[in-house]
Structure 1
């Protein structure tokens, strides 16, 4: 007996949601790694504030990646765990050695733009599939990330 036969989600609809969740997982994993790098490498007058903020952000990103992977499992899929595959699939490109806040902040906003666009796509697919649980997960991610965009934009003035 399959998980979907019990939950009542149509396999054809679930396949589209699953494919998009795999994409989102890859994007989150690269985003997480970039945030770790920003945390380690940031320099300058805002060091203490940004160093702490980047740690908070990568902790949240790691938790979200775990939530996405668990949702994939709940839909009967197997989440990818190889970073080599994430790098091939992710729309977010890995960054390294960036230490200046004026370079880091726009990169974070660009990454959030990618994540938000992917999440909006998944929200529509989940709605079409009647997949309320995925929709709720994505809604929570969107709420948090849109707040982050607002706060980061306020930092920029």
Structure 2
């Protein structure tokens, strides 16, 4: 049985489940980025404050795109913060004000997101879901560069 955009309904629902876990993880990564943006202190305050704002703004756009993709493949996106905490593969980062620790925390989160997105990319390919696959491919490419930059900052 196919859904209204011609994808296998069962495969789409399996994708919805993984996309909701990804959405949850993005929401926590977004809040972690906001948190370090607000709470950063020290010598590199100005550059990190601006970079963290850039990061959380991008994450917010992607949160919306993931939720809309879930709706497009006829799923329901999670939308309660309690659900995000329950399903996220990224932990909350609390009380971080040190620049190195903040960058390391975001780096760990993006590494997790990339791995999740690679898994979804493969699953989307198996489901012939080009829309989800293209989205994951774009996110992976963008975040691989960000991981490189964050690692370079820590070196």
* TM surpasses 0.5: yes
Matches within 5 A, 1:32-111: 32-111=30-109
TM-score, scaled to structure 1? 0.95
Structure 1 residue 152, shift from structure 2 partner: 0.9
Question: Take 1:61 and 1:72, find their aligned partners in 2: how far apart are those partners?
Answer: 16
Which ranges of structure 2 fall in alignment gaps of 5 or more residues? none
Structure 1 residue 15, shift from structure 2 partner: 1.6
Structure 1 residue 5, shift from structure 2 partner: 3.1
Matches within 5 A, 1:127-138: 127-138=125-136
Which ranges of structure 1 fall in alignment gaps of 5 or more residues? none
Aligned residues: 155
Question: Take 2:68 and 2:119, find their aligned partners in 1: how far apart are those partners?
Answer: 19
Paired residue for 2:11? Answer: 13
TM-score, scaled to structure 2? 0.96
Structure 1 residue 79, shift from structure 2 partner: 0.7
Structure 1 residue 93, shift from structure 2 partner: 0.8
Question: Take 1:94 and 1:6, find their aligned partners in 2: how far apart are those partners?
Answer: 37
Paired residue for 1:144? Answer: 142
